[in-house]
């Protein structure tokens, strides 16, 4: 049995969770999210916690048990606190700016790259070319951050490009490093 699935999800202050059949709706100060449950998982609310249980002891649905608990925990955290991913631009002349709602990246291509944010996700550019992607849905925030990083991933020789804040880039020695 999943150890993650056994842990109850604490409902934070200001957050309401409702269960309507196979649909879990979570409302909070930052917005509202919903999740459709797999048919083998039962969800109930007891003493300010969301409890996840399996319908049967069949082991083929074991992975949905822990997954469902994690998804519900992400919904509760998203509507109360929100999620944020930060990316850094590293390279001479690499710049990012916001035009309207779009992110415009100048990262060494002939033309600037324009990225439109997904619905419910906001993009901000801070000091030192740090791009901040914020929203209440963890999956949408992560998807948009990975699309931005994919424009110019960091190369292994000079580590120039777009990387997540705190990401470690394994560096390779160039031609001169191999000969020595």
pLDDT value at residue 55: 76
What is the extent of the structural domain holding 156?
Answer: 83-164
Are 74 and 88 in the same domain? no
Are 76 and 87 in the same domain? no
The answer to whether residue 120 is domain-embedded is yes
Are 71 and 92 in the same domain? no
Are 64 and 120 in the same domain? no
How far apart CA 107 and CA 95 sit, in angstroms, is 7
Q: How many CB atoms lie within 10 A of CB 66?
A: 17
How far apart CA 123 and CA 111 sit, in angstroms, is 21
pLDDT per residue, tens digit, the chain (180 aa), is 557 778 889 998 999 999 998 899 999 999 999 999 887 888 889 988 998 887 776 656 677 888 888 999 999 999 999 999 999 999 898 999 999 999 999 998 999 999 999 898 999 999 888 999 999 999 999 999 999 999 999 999 988 999 999 888 888 888 776 655
The token pair that represents 128 in the structure block = 């030192």
- Supply the pTM of this predicted model: 0.86
pLDDT value at residue 2: 59
pLDDT value at residue 71: 93
Structural domains in the chain (count): 2
The answer to whether residue 149 is domain-embedded is yes
Task: Say which CATH number the domain at 109 has.
Answer: 3.90.930.12
pLDDT value at residue 163: 93
Domain end marker among 29, 63, 80: 80
């Amino acid at each position: 049995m999943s150890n993650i699935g056994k842990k109850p999800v604490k409902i934070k202050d200001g957050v309401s969770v409702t269960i309507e059949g196979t649909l879990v709706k979570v409302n909070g100060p930052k917005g509202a999210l919903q999740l459709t449950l797999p048919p083998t998982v039962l969800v109930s609310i007891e003493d300010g916690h969301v409890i996840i249980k399996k319908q049967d002891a069949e082991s083929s649905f074991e992975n949905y048990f822990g997954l469902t608990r994690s998804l519900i925990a992400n919904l509760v955290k998203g509507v109360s606190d929100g999620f944020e991913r930060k990316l850094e631009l590293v390279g001479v002349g690499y710049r990012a700016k916001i035009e309207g709602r779009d992110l415009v990246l100048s990262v060494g291509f002939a033309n600037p790259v324009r990225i439109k944010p997904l619905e419910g996700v906001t993009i901000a550019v801070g000091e030192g070319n740090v791009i901040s992607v914020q929203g209440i849905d963890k999956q949408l925030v992560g998807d948009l951050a990975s699309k931005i990083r994919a424009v110019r991933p960091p190369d292994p020789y000079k580590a120039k490009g777009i990387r997540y804040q705190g990401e470690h880039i394994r560096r390779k020695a160039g031609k001169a490093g191999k000969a020595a």
